[in-house]
């Protein structure tokens, strides 16, 4: 039975969407979960329906739980639903340069336009040699240090972006630029601390000096601003230095800086370039890492699926070469496996929050301007009417009875509408190429203890904005001597970057 919220607090006379009953003042704060929140919100979908309303203090939150409503609001009404929630803390800690967190303003438009130019489908094709080269480095890493597969796949995700964006080759361990960016990203996640949330709930707190009781976050914020400034500037200076020395001109930042110089060096354009570059790393590295984690986890726990993918690869590619991007259309099962990795545990289970620019009415429900509108990607990719038995990892759900790919190629994990992931073509290629390259050369299995018994893997994921599988052990071994030689031989390739 649906519980209707009262219409109090809005002048439209229409009810808010159904949802849990709010308490006086704090609203539904007591029901906001701290662990795996998407599971609670998906449970709300079962109780209240595909669109749910909650309130925290005065802030309205609308949860979109079905693909149909996501498409109606984020796509068909994108002029209303493309904003991001105002979060004073973001600006306070210096993260307002991030395209993905910017409100729907001209600054966002400039930034998004430049992003599109660099990462749209045809531009993203030109990065394939870099992706291939870094993935081959990764395969060689797996060969020599299979037990370090987690830090290796973290490195490959960072290495691809750093090379494409700045032309910079990250070091396998303790890379200075990567550490800088990771520290800045960690500070952003730390803003989930109660003190930080308090600033977002009460914007007035940001004007208080840091020495007032309970305002320690002012110091925290100043430290963050310093880090994010460095994160943007240090790699940019690296590119500028290279350009002065006449080397390393083959990167997004180098190309954009040169074009800007040729047009008379606009300061604003240089600022946008600096922001887009830093955003690409922040938005594109950790997200790719999470998909790769899910892939390794799924393969270690589903040997029969791994075997089917390897049989397909062997049949199409044979044992004498490594996969190339051009093989993609000939490998429907691998494609289905990729889609299932992206569906089974979406990287950002609650997407990135959108916000409504103005009041709206949807199916008779009132959605106030300023409401935070959350795309519950988890609920959509676990919708039993579309994906029966949704918790089971089963690539067959993307295949027809004849073994051909079905037309469900909309990867919901990349979000919606005007704010849809702008790096999705590049990201999809990195994840697919890593999957196919690893499967063609290695077997992934559960690790064994000293007595030879398999060590069970617990499917635990982190709660953060980007959700990762917790570290787990698995055994990774080359499939054959031929596979080993193919991987070793990649060291001799001269990349045509």
DSSP calls for 218-235: HHHHHHHHHHHHHHHHHH
Separation CA 403–CA 465 (nearest Å): 35
CB of 66 to ligand HEM, least distance (A): 15
CB of 347 to ligand HEM, least distance (A): 4
Choose between 352 and 399: whose C-beta lies nearer to ligand HEM. 352
Binding site for ligand HEM (CB under 6 A): 99-100, 112, 115, 119, 279-280, 283-284, 287-288, 291, 347-348, 351-352, 354, 375, 413-416, 419-423, 426-427, 431
Q: Does the annotation place 224 within a ligand binding site?
A: no
Separation CA 135–CA 432 (nearest Å): 11
CB of 202 to ligand HEM, least distance (A): 26
Choose between 27 and 85: whose C-beta lies nearer to ligand HEM. 85
Work out whether strand 372-375 and strand 59-64 pair parallel, antiparallel, or are unpaired.
parallel
Phi, psi (rounded to 5 degrees) for 280: -60, -45
Residue closest to 200 by CA, chosen among 312, 331, 58: 58
Alpha helices by DSSP H, listed for 265-399, are 267-301, 303-317, 332-344, 377-381
- Cα–Cα distances (Å) from 74 to 71, 80, 200, 377, in that order, read 6, 8, 24, 13
CB of 72 to ligand HEM, least distance (A): 14
Separation CA 143–CA 147 (nearest Å): 10
Kindly calculate the radius of gyration of the chain based on its CA atoms and give it in whole angstroms.
24
Choose between 134 and 205: whose C-beta lies nearer to ligand HEM. 134
Choose between 136 and 468: whose C-beta lies nearer to ligand HEM. 468
Choose between 253 and 431: whose C-beta lies nearer to ligand HEM. 431
Residue closest to 63 by CA, chosen among 91, 33, 25: 33
CB of 130 to ligand HEM, least distance (A): 12
Choose between 205 and 439: whose C-beta lies nearer to ligand HEM. 439
Residue closest to 291 by CA, chosen among 469, 118, 130, 146: 469
CB of 342 to ligand HEM, least distance (A): 7
Task: List CB contacts of 314: < 8 A, sequence separation 6 or more.
Answer: 440
CB of 430 to ligand HEM, least distance (A): 7
Structure tokens at 377: 């990607």
Separation CA 131–CA 148 (nearest Å): 20
Choose between 113 and 307: whose C-beta lies nearer to ligand HEM. 113
Q: Is 424 helix (H, G, I), strand (E, B) or coil?
A: helix
Choose between 23 and 109: whose C-beta lies nearer to ligand HEM. 109
Q: Which residue positions form the known binding site?
A: 421
Q: Which residue positions form the known binding site for heme?
A: 421
């Amino acid at each position: 039975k649906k519980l209707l919220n009262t219409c109090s607090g809005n002048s439209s006379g229409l009810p808010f969407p159904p949802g849990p009953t709010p308490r006086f003042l704090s609203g539904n704060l007591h029901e906001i979960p701290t662990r795996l929140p998407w599971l609670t919100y998906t449970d709300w979908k079962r109780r209240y329906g595909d669109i749910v309303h909650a309130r925290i203090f005065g802030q309205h939150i609308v949860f979109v739980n079905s693909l149909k409503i996501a498409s109606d609001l984020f796509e068909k009404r994108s002029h209303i639903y493309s904003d991001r929630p105002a979060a004073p803390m973001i600006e306070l800690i210096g993260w307002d340069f991030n395209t993905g967190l910017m409100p729907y303003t001209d600054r966002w438009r400039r930034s998004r336009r430049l992003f599109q130019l660099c990462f749209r489908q045809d531009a993203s094709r030109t990065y394939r040699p870099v992706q291939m080269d870094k993935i081959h480095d990764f395969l060689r890493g797996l060969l020599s240090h299979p037990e370090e597969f987690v830090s290796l796949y973290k490195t490959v995700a960072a290495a691809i972006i750093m090379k494409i964006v700045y032309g910079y080759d990250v070091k396998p361990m303790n890379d200075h630029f990567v550490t800088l960016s990771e520290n800045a990203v960690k500070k952003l996640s730390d803003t989930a601390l109660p003190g930080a949330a308090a600033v977002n709930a009460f914007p007035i707190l940001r004007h208080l000096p840091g020495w007032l009781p309970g305002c320690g976050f002012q110091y925290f914020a100043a430290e963050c601003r310093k880090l994010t400034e460095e994160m943007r500037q240090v790699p940019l200076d690296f590119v500028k230095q290279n350009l002065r020395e006449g080397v390393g001109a083959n990167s997004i930042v180098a190309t954009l800086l040169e074009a800007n110089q040729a047009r008379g060096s606009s300061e604003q354009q240089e600022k946008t370039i600096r922001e887009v570059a830093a955003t690409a790393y922040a938005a594109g590295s950790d997200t790719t890492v999470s998909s790769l984690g899910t892939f390794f986890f799924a393969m270690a726990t589903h040997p029969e699926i791994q075997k089917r993918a390897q049989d397909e690869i062997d049949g199409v590619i044979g044992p004498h070469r490594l996969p190339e991007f051009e093989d993609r259309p000939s490998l429907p099962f691998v494609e289905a496996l990729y889609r299932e990795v992206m569906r089974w545990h979406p990287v950002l289970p609650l997407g990135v929050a959108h916000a409504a620019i103005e009041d709206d009415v949807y199916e008779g429900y009132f959605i106030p301007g300023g409401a935070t509108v959350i795309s519950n990607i988890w609920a959509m990719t676990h919708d039993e009417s579309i994906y029966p038995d949704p918790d089971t990892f089963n690539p067959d759900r993307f295949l027809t009875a004849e073994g051909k790919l079905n037309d469900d190629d909309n990867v919901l994990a990349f979000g919606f509408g005007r704010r849809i992931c702008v790096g999705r073509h590049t990201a999809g290629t990195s994840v697919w190429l890593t999957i196919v390259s690893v499967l063609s050369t290695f077997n992934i299995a559960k690790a064994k203890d000293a007595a030879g018994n398999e060590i069970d893997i617990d499917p635990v994921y982190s709660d953060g904005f980007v959700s990762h599988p917790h570290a787990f052990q698995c055994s990774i071994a080359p499939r054959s001597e031929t596979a080993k030689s193919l991987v070793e031989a990649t060291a001799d390739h001269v990349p045509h970057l």
